[in-house]
Structure 1
Amino acid sequence: MRTVRIRKYMVVGVLSIVVFPWLVYCLVLQPWSQWHSPRRQVALNQVMNEIVKNPEDWKNPAWQNHLREQLADARMEATILSPSNHEVFSSGHRHGPQWMPSQQTTVVENGQVLGTVRVFASTTNVNSAVAAISALAAVMLAISFVAFQMGRQVVKPLESMSRAARQIAEGDFDFRLPVSRVTEIAQVRSGFEIMVAGLRESFQKQARLEEERRFFIGAIAHDLRTPLFALRGYLEGLEQGIANTPEKMAKYVAVCKEKSDQLDRLVSDLFAFTKLEFMEQTLHYDKVDFASVLEGSVDSLRPQAQDKAVSIIMQRPAYECVVRADAHLLERAINNLLDNALRHTPSRGEIFVKWYKAPGKIIVSVRDTGPGFSGEELNHVFDPLYRGEVSRNRATGGVGLGLTIARRIFRAHGGDLVATNHPQGGALLTGWVQDV
């Protein structure tokens, strides 16, 4: 929709108030006046003929009364002067700007001057009244039209935005703003709608975050309570002497150690997740040998893999690769990928780890021979505390934050982490970081 700037709009409004009455005069009043003027001329000629043709009745009272009536009907006045400029007849008062001389004639008969006739026409006639009324009506009509347009294009949109602002303050975003052809009002309306859209999205995001926060707190409470409950039970068993043999005591102590390790991993992951979430931890960038970091992570996981009879096969190129990264966080991300693969790989399974260089980035992939991801898991695998287990049991030992933390670390290094299923089966996690 084409718009007009408010200054131009105001100029057009003022010109409408000035020009419209003038157009009314030119198109209506002037033609009517021109039509009415010949009638006045005919009346003037009749009066002059009546006076000029009857000089013998100039002093006749009956004739004078008849002439006065005729002059009154024509809204005229007349004066008859003798040759010596003495007033023979006068129809009334003729002083002031409202009486203008229309015609003057000297009456001569047989070469002798009988007198002078002067006829005066009134300027305050019907034409003037009609003109004044018409001009006033035209001005009022123009003002009403301009006021209507100003109310429609300026006042109404501003009032609507004022009401909308109060609705927004009350949390109500359901409203519509009228369209305006004034450029400034249209720009304010557009900016207002953009602001409302941003606020609506912000409120929706805040509601989602609040829902996630409730879920997060509930899930953490559940995850902390489960090992604590088991740990407390076994400790009470030791305290009450239920474990009355060295074998039972050793078993109880081993279980307590296992549960404390679970708590330690959970608290460690929560601490790391919180730091990455709220940017409380700054990255310590340094030149890092990517292959060394990867080999160190694989070597640290081999004892656990051997206990589970899982083989880790590493494929690496012959060339070296140095990246600019935080070595500690990068190693943690790779450890989380390997730990996830180990937990989901069955006994006598295999884990394939490889890395290679691509234009502008270093890519690492971890593939296992487990069941892979289901369709629902692929949509939520990086959600905090999601493990794809409705019961949230700890048979696999996972906390549900490992892949979330790994992805955020990769993204902090200018890359990303994606999860897919390998065509030959098993889960495939592929991450990359920016090359130096």
Structure 2
Amino acid sequence: MRKLRIRTFTMLCLFFLLTLPWIFFVTAHFMDTQSFSISTSQQQNDTLQRHLTEMIHMIEVGTDKWTYTGWQNELHTELSKAKMDVEIESASNSEIYRSSPKRHSRFSSTEQFSVIKDGELLGRVVLYLPKSNGVPMIAAFFGLLLSFFVVGVEMRRFLLKPLEKMSKAARQIAAGHWEVQLPKSRITEIAEVRDGFEVMVKGLEQSHRKQVELEEERRFVTAAVAHDLRTPLFALRGYLDGLEQGIAQSPEKVTRYIAVCKEKSAQLDRLVEDLFTFTKMEYLESELNTRTLDLTQILRRSIESVSPQAEQKHISILNQLTDGCFINGDSYVLERAMNNILENAVRYTPSGGAITVRCCKDGKKIRFTIRDTGPGFSFEELERVFEPLYRGETSRSRATGGSGLGLTISQRMMKQHGGELMVSNHPDGGAVLTGCLPLTDPN
């Protein structure tokens, strides 16, 4: 469907307004005179006036010849030359002479006068003048009215109705109805507004859906955090009440109660720290203190930080790191990400298991892998492991003491550095976390 610019549409409407009355005028003039010649010059007006004066003089002078055939023929000849007709009636309204048998329209131009001689009314005369532009002007007026009507209908069809429909659509969108039918138009500017309006509607719909998703996520996070805080707090309060009430009477029991309280407080500390880090990354903009780093050194420090927990569970950590894996990043943020990954591996690796840490250059990237000998991930866990506060219902449950935010935080930290973090299962069993970061020239 070809489209028109508003200025083109306006010019077409103006041309139509000017042309249609003129067409009506010319058509009516031709039907009235059988000629397309349209002239109203001063010379013709003077000629008409001269012929009119001659006809009146001839009729008034020849009053005693009105009934004579010869005089009537002479009058008819002169009337034909002047393109006029005449009707002569006596004083008693009886017809004396009519130059043309046909009746003239009541809209015809006439000149009427009475002939009086010596105070006596001799008759009445009606001179029918040459046809004027009266009828064509009336036709032109109706043509103008028709052109205004047609232009008004087309303007409503092409301009007003699409705008009215878009206004109605805007009110529907404001009421939350996104599935609205936007009108089409053959006017380019209105079509462009419609396209922009459609893009805006899609953007608003996506924003609304995102807001709904964020609201649902916020409610989920709030409920999950409340549950995670309540569980260790409930246990901590129970053991503290036991100590206060003297339930733990033996030194061994007191020592066990205190150890449980310390464990629960450490669990609360980890949860609050993870929540703070997640909130800071999710909702607050933070700048990275970037510089050239050797990822191998960061991994070594992270291994040292989790070694005590690994030793308690008799887990061996195999170091297969290659020096010179330089990247550009924030040392603190990257070490925190590696700590989360290694702590997660230690947490889910059974006693006597092993964790293998590798790091090497891979083209223009630095690739590292951390593999444990735990139960690995289920299919659902592989799909959702990076969701905030998600934990599997079996091996990766709250009983292990995790917050469900460690891997989420690590993944977002990796993305902050232009890298990525992926999870998979090793063919021989256990979980594998693989990360990639852009390689940097140390010089």
Normalising by the smaller structure, the TM-score range is 0.7 to 0.9
Q: Which of 267, 275, 278 pairs up with 1:270?
A: 275
Contact (CA 8 Å) 2:33, 2:131: kept in 1 or not? no
Contact (CA 8 Å) 2:89, 2:97: kept in 1 or not? no
Q: Which moved more, 1:280-289 or 1:17-26?
A: 17-26
The number of residues matched between the two structures is 386
Cα distance in 2 for residues equivalent to 1:57 and 1:246 = 156
TM-score, normalising length: structure 1: 0.79
Alignment-derived partner of residue 235 in structure 1 = 240
TM-score, normalising length: structure 2: 0.78
**For residues 25-424 of structure 1, what are the structure 2 equivalents within 5 Å?**
28-29=27-28, 32-33=31-32, 35=34, 54-55=69-70, 65-68=95-98, 70=100, 73=103, 92=125, 121-124=129-132, 128-129=134-135, 131-317=136-322, 319-389=323-393, 394-424=398-428
**For residues 10-21 of structure 1, what are the structure 2 equivalents within 5 Å?**
10-21=10-21
Task: Report how far residue 342 of structure 1 moved.
Answer: 1.8
Cα distance in 1 for residues equivalent to 2:406 and 2:21 = 81
Contact (CA 8 Å) 1:352, 1:366: kept in 2 or not? yes
Structure 2 counterpart of 1:282, one-letter code: E
C-alpha spacing 1:78/1:417, structure 2 compared with 1 (3 Å): closer
Cα distance in 1 for residues equivalent to 2:219 and 2:395 = 18
Structure 2 counterpart of 1:32, one-letter code: M
Cα distance in 2 for residues equivalent to 1:390 and 1:259 = 21
Contact (CA 8 Å) 1:288, 1:322: kept in 2 or not? yes
Alignment-derived partner of residue 45 in structure 1 = none
Over aligned residues, Cα RMSD in angstroms?
3.3
> Percent identity between the aligned chains?
48
SS of aligned partner of 1:67 = strand
Contact (CA 8 Å) 1:68, 1:91: kept in 2 or not? no
C-alpha spacing 1:337/1:29, structure 2 compared with 1 (3 Å): same
Cα distance in 1 for residues equivalent to 2:344 and 2:224 = 19
Structure 2 gap segments, 5+ residues each: 37-65, 76-87, 113-121
Structure 2 counterpart of 1:54, one-letter code: T
C-alpha spacing 1:425/1:146, structure 2 compared with 1 (3 Å): farther
Task: Report how far residue 161 of structure 1 moved.
Answer: 2.3
C-alpha spacing 1:213/1:57, structure 2 compared with 1 (3 Å): closer
Contact (CA 8 Å) 2:25, 2:137: kept in 1 or not? no
Structure 2 counterpart of 1:346, one-letter code: P
Cα distance in 2 for residues equivalent to 1:391 and 1:300 = 24
C-alpha spacing 1:292/1:93, structure 2 compared with 1 (3 Å): same
Task: Report how far residue 294 of structure 1 moved.
Answer: 0.7
Cα distance in 2 for residues equivalent to 1:299 and 1:271 = 24
Structure 1 counterpart of 2:217, one-letter code: E
Contact (CA 8 Å) 2:315, 2:351: kept in 1 or not? yes
Alignment-derived partner of residue 46 in structure 1 = none
Deviations 1:39-89 (A, max 9, x none): xxxxxxxxxxxx9x9316689988x9442373773579899xxxxxxxxx9
C-alpha spacing 1:90/1:367, structure 2 compared with 1 (3 Å): farther
Alignment-derived partner of residue 8 in structure 2 = 8
Structure 1 gap segments, 5+ residues each: 38-50, 80-88, 95-119
Cα distance in 1 for residues equivalent to 2:109 and 2:432 = 112
Structure 1 counterpart of 2:8, one-letter code: K
Task: Report how far residue 31 of structure 1 moved.
Answer: 5.3
Alignment-derived partner of residue 82 in structure 1 = none
Cα distance in 2 for residues equivalent to 1:169 and 1:36 = 63
SS of aligned partner of 1:234 = helix
